[in-house]
Amino acid sequence: MANEMGLRESKKQETRQLISDCATRLFIEQGFEQTTITEIAAAARVAKKTVTNYFPRKEDLALDHHEAFTQGLASVVAGREPGEEPLAALRRTFRAALLEHSPVVGFTGPAFARMVADSPTLSARLRELHEQREEALAAALADAALADAAPTDATPTGATSDPAPAIAPRAAAALIAAADRLLFRRIQELTLAGYSNDRIEAALLPEADHLRALLAAALGGAPS
């Protein structure tokens, strides 16, 4: 039974990836707006309903890793090392993704970047995903602040601290997400300008450090 379930899940993943690959190829060749679900189904040799079962929204066929993207910053904060500040964890993770030329931070290649830039629908959807990314980060920062504020055995009896206003996690998330969006757009901009990934990396390293310094200055006095 376990083997059957594993094979079934593997088959589902293969079908999903096939549909996504066919859709991306057609979007790049024909444009996102001009490509139909029927054409994608025919290219993948599946029923049209199979495509919509795996991808309820047409935009998800192009931006098919949207869940990992929207939860990315929040996951870094939630999974950071003990005692590590959220901003330090975010900086460390972004730098690693930049050195890996990860698509999550914007390394999508010129053809894909052009496809998104030329599509009002995909551009709007990407803005929505960035907003969801910010909302998830705000929730993670709120959880982190609550955990840091919880009394421990080492907390002196009667010790108090001035509570941060309720909007603090959302304000911090807004600042961090704005920098994150700027870096993403910068990578896309340089990609469309014909820069290689290595050149983009070299350009973004000091720019990312500059933005992180600005964030550190802005958030230095704020609770975690």
One domain, residues 172 and 86: yes
Q: What is the pLDDT of residue 186?
A: 97
Q: How many domains would you assign to the chain?
A: 2
Residue 65 has pLDDT above 50, yes or no: yes
In a shared domain, residues 17 and 44: yes
The mean-pLDDT minimum among 26-35, 160-169, 204-213 falls in 160-169
pTM, to two decimals: 0.84
Whether 18 and 93 share a structural domain: no
My answer on whether 203 and 170 are in the same domain is yes
Q: Give the structural domain span for 40.
A: 2-62
Average pLDDT of the chain to the nearest whole number: 89
My answer on whether 34 and 124 are in the same domain is no
Which whole-number Å values give the CA distances from 194 to 6, 110, 152, 188, 198, in the listed order? 43, 7, 54, 10, 12
Residue 223 pLDDT: 45
Asked if 60 and 121 touch (Cβ cutoff 8 Å), the reply is no
Tens-place pLDDT, residues 130-184: 999 999 999 999 998 887 766 555 555 554 455 678 899 999 999 999 999 999 9
Secondary structure of residue 87 in the 3-state scheme: helix
- DSSP string covering 174-202: HHHHHHHHHHHHHHHHHHHTT--HHHHHH
CATH number at residue 19: 1.10.10.60
The single residue listed with the structure tokens 């790049």 is: 28
- Residue-level pLDDT at 147: 78
Q: Do 48 and 73 fall within a single domain?
A: no
Which tokens belong to 85?
């500040």
Helix (H) or strand (E) holding 12: helix 2-30
In terms of domains, do 49 and 118 share one? Answer: no
Mean pLDDT, to the nearest integer, of 46-73?
92
* In a shared domain, residues 44 and 80: no
pLDDT at 67: 86
Rounded to 5 degrees, φ, ψ at 110 are -65, -40
Which residue carries 């961090």 as its tokens? 176
Among 56-70, 180-194, 200-214, the minimum mean pLDDT is found in 56-70
93 and 198 share a domain? yes
Residue 224 inside a domain? The answer is no
| CATH code, domain carrying 147 | 1.10.357
Q: What is the DSSP string of 111-160?
A: HHHHHHHT-HHHHHHHHHHHHHHHHHHHHHHHHHHHHHHS--TTSPTT--
Residue 58 has pLDDT above 50, yes or no: yes
